Amino acid sequence: MIPEIGHLALIIALVASLIQCVLPMWGAHTNQIQLMQVARPTAYTQLFFVIIAFVALMTSFINKDFSVINVVQNSNADLPTIYRICATWGSHEGSILLWGLMLALWSSAVARFSKHLTLPILARTLGVLGFISFGTILFTLITSNPFLRMIPAASNGTDLNPLLQDPGMIIHPPMLYMGYVGTSVVFSLAIAALLSGKLDTAWARWSRPWITVAWCFLTIGIALGSGWAYYELGWGGWWFWDPVENASFMPWLLGTALIHSLAVTEKRGGFKMWTALLAILTFSMSLLGTFLVRSGVITSVHAFATDPERGIFILIFLAILIGGSLTLFSIRAPKAVAGEEFDLVSKDSMLLTNNILLLVAAAAVLLGTLYPLILEALGLGKLSVGKPYFDAVFVPLMTPALFLMGVGPITRWRSAKPIDLVTQLRWALGATVVSAVFTPFVLRSWTPGIGFGLFLAIWITTASLVNLFNRIKSHPANAISALRAQSASYYGMLIAHIGVAVFIFGVTMVNGFEEEKDLRMSAGTSNSLAGYDFVLNNIQQVQGENYVAAQATITVTKDNQFVTVMKPEKRKYFSSQMLMTEAAIHTSFTGDLYISMAEAISNTEWGVKIQFKPFINWIWGGAFLIALGGFFAVMDKKYRFKKNKSL
């Protein structure tokens, strides 16, 4: 009964989304207020029914309803309850339903927090969102229905992939999708503005908090994915430039560009066309990414079960939505970029340079991801593009942008004198060069890469602090008043930029100083790494809820002081017979100890990999700081829009 309720709810939601799309859009076009006012209640209605569908699927998993095909394929009688709940979004069908849920949530958020928007703009925005919802729910019902039953019901399921049976599964997909799907709001706002002919600074100001919040969630989602891969996959990597990772990274890069570009449009009035295009492209990248990982066009770690029918559907949807929006853009985009002028050296030009660099970086990632496909389609052979390419291209592209992060905030709008900048930043530059050059010597190892990375991290930090210091100094009252006088938006920028510096520091230290050893260990053997001493006490068999594992107990000491006991495991899951490496990780301020069991050499001897990852947690700490900065920025008073007075 419950799956059928879910199925029915989804159909009703489909109808609601169609109404949400057609009536308000028509109302805006013909200026009929009543039709436009249909938008908000319809959005809430759609959300209501999508939630029912989602809960219905989740209930089927919790109840172990093995008559539902999706439940059979993605869970098992022995699967712990929490993972049965997560299995709701553990498959292609379930995750598309999650996509639809997020979309409905964002639409309702727009309906709720839009008192300042004019009715036509609101109607059109919700209309576009309704269209996207319609396509998503239609796709779910036709090609990816999670409520299909099997008769007779199976006696047990084939289990959720063991890699997904992990706390990361609870939070990574929801956060990621919140961000990913959230870029649809600013997309819809841009379309609405283009349709209404009202692409102005008000539009820019409205858009900014929406993209910032989506971008924060996207940042957190990507960071969680990376952290999860690190401890779950069992061998210590944290970013692989896998197509699915790239699929979420490209919208992030464009979203970052959009946030910076909106700053220019908001303050200086110009580049509305460029900003609108970015708004369209950011969500387009999200959609493109969704296509890439579900169509079978690209192979990836994450690839869902692929199906040409699904690929065709998404591609058609993509073509209509993005093709339509880009066509609208080419027709309606404002003719002149009528904004205030600026000089070659100015905050304006630096922000635009940032945009160009981010856009080219996103294009490079897209190129690398699609190149095998392009080459094969052209009959030019088959090759693969891996991490070395992306590292080689991405890092040089990003470096100027990272350097500018120190200069931009200090630079004046419209026109700045290079001499002034140099004067203000000379101490920061000096301190940076000195510390970047000398620190590695202190740490006993130096490569250009390490020096370079440290330079950027320290530069961004010192330049940001100089910026803050200048603001305090130029404030008429004392330091405390000066600090209070700064806006939330300013602190958001500061925190986010320092977050980037922290991130770079983490990456540099891990890449430059990580150590590892592959050892044969049996009870009583010992070794050492990075100043720590390890003794394998024993290896025993342990049993979990749905697996059995070989578990090693390793005592760690440093300078003869007890540090910790680590217990890496090699698990074998009953249902799938899959082998999983559960690494043991010990986190300290200076870095992670990472121990994983490789292979059994005999009953008593195992290959064990011991790694030391210095400052690796600064990578995700930095990412969270970036997201925190975004949240601060959204809190700024200037985004507390008052009810719109004019029509």
Partner 1 sequence: MHHKKLTIQNWPHGFFRSVLFILTLSSLGLLAVNADAQSNIAQPLAKDPALEARVMDIAKDLRCLVCQNETIAGSHADLAIDLRNQIQDQLEAGKSKNEIMQYMVDRYGDFILFKPPVKSSTLVLWLGPFLLLLLGMWTLWRFIKKQSKTKKVTVFSDQDLSQARAMLESKDYLKKDAE
Partner 2 sequence: MKRLPLIIFAILVVFLVIGLKLKPKEIPSPFIGKPAPAFELSILSQTERFEPKSMLGRVWLLNVWASWCTSCREEHPLLIEFSKQKLVPIIGLNYKDKDPEAIKWLNDLGNPYDFSVVDAKGKVGIDYGVYGVPETFVIDKSGKIVHKHIGPLTPEALNKDILPLLKKLNS
Catalog residues that contact partner 2 under the rule CB under 8 A.
273, 277, 280-281, 284, 291, 295-299, 308, 311-312, 315, 318-319, 322-323, 326-327, 329-330, 333, 370, 372-374, 376-377, 382
Within 98-127, the residues that bind partner 1 by CB under 8 A are none
Find, among 272, 229, 232, the residue nearest to 248 by Cα.
229
Find, among 625, 559, 566, the residue nearest to 592 by Cα.
566
Name beta bridge partners: 50: none
13 vs 253, beta carbon nearer partner 2? 253
306 vs 557, beta carbon nearer partner 2? 306
Contacts of 589 (CB under 8 A, 6+ apart): none
At 192, which helix (H) or strand (E)? helix 167-196
397 contacts partner 1 (rule: CB under 8 A): yes
Q: Which of 380, 419, 442, 647 binds partner 1 (CB under 8 A)?
A: 380
- DSSP 3-state assignment of 123? helix
DSSP state of 153: P
Find, among 198, 42, 205, 20, the residue nearest to 116 by Cα.
205
Least distance in angstroms from the C-beta of 401 to partner 1: 11
Stretch near partner 1 under the rule CB under 8 A, chosen from 64-72, 311-319, 340-348, 453-461: 340-348
Within 606-625, the residues that bind partner 1 by CB under 8 A are 607-608
338 vs 437, beta carbon nearer partner 1? 338
| Residue 291-330 contact track with partner 1, rule CB under 8 A, x = bound | --------xxx-x---------------------------
Name beta bridge partners: 591: 588, 614
Least distance in angstroms from the C-beta of 245 to partner 1: 9
Backbone angles phi, psi at 443, to 5 degrees: -85, 10
Q: Which of 445, 470, 526, 538 binds partner 1 (CB under 8 A)?
A: 526
Chosen from partner 1, partner 2, none, partner binding at 242 (C-beta under 5 to 8 Å by type): partner 1
582 contacts partner 1 (rule: CB under 8 A): no
Name beta bridge partners: 571: 549, 580
Backbone angles phi, psi at 236, to 5 degrees: 90, 5
Least distance in angstroms from the C-beta of 110 to partner 2: 25
At 592, which helix (H) or strand (E)? strand 591-600
Stretch near partner 1 under the rule CB under 8 A, chosen from 29-37, 183-191, 237-245, 319-327: 237-245
Neighbours of 640 (CB within 10 A): 9
349 contacts partner 1 (rule: CB under 8 A): yes
Neighbours of 504 (CB within 10 A): 25
Least distance in angstroms from the C-beta of 264 to partner 1: 12
Q: Which of 220, 223, 463, 536 binds partner 1 (CB under 8 A)?
A: 536
At 550, which helix (H) or strand (E)? strand 547-558
User: In this structure, which amino acid lies at residue 509?
Assistant: M
128 contacts partner 1 (rule: CB under 8 A): no
Neighbours of 607 (CB within 10 A): 14
170 contacts partner 1 (rule: CB under 8 A): no
519 contacts partner 1 (rule: CB under 8 A): yes
Taking each helix axis from N to C end, the angle separating 119-143 and 308-332, rounded to the nearest 10 degrees, works out to 160
Q: Give the chain's end-to-end CA distance (angstroms, integer).
A: 48
526 vs 540, beta carbon nearer partner 1? 526
Binding site for partner 1 (CB under 8 A): 202, 235, 237, 240-242, 266-267, 299-301, 303, 341-344, 349, 352-353, 356-357, 359-361, 363-364, 367-368, 371, 375, 380-389, 392-393, 397, 517-522, 524-527, 534-536, 560, 598-599, 607-608, 638
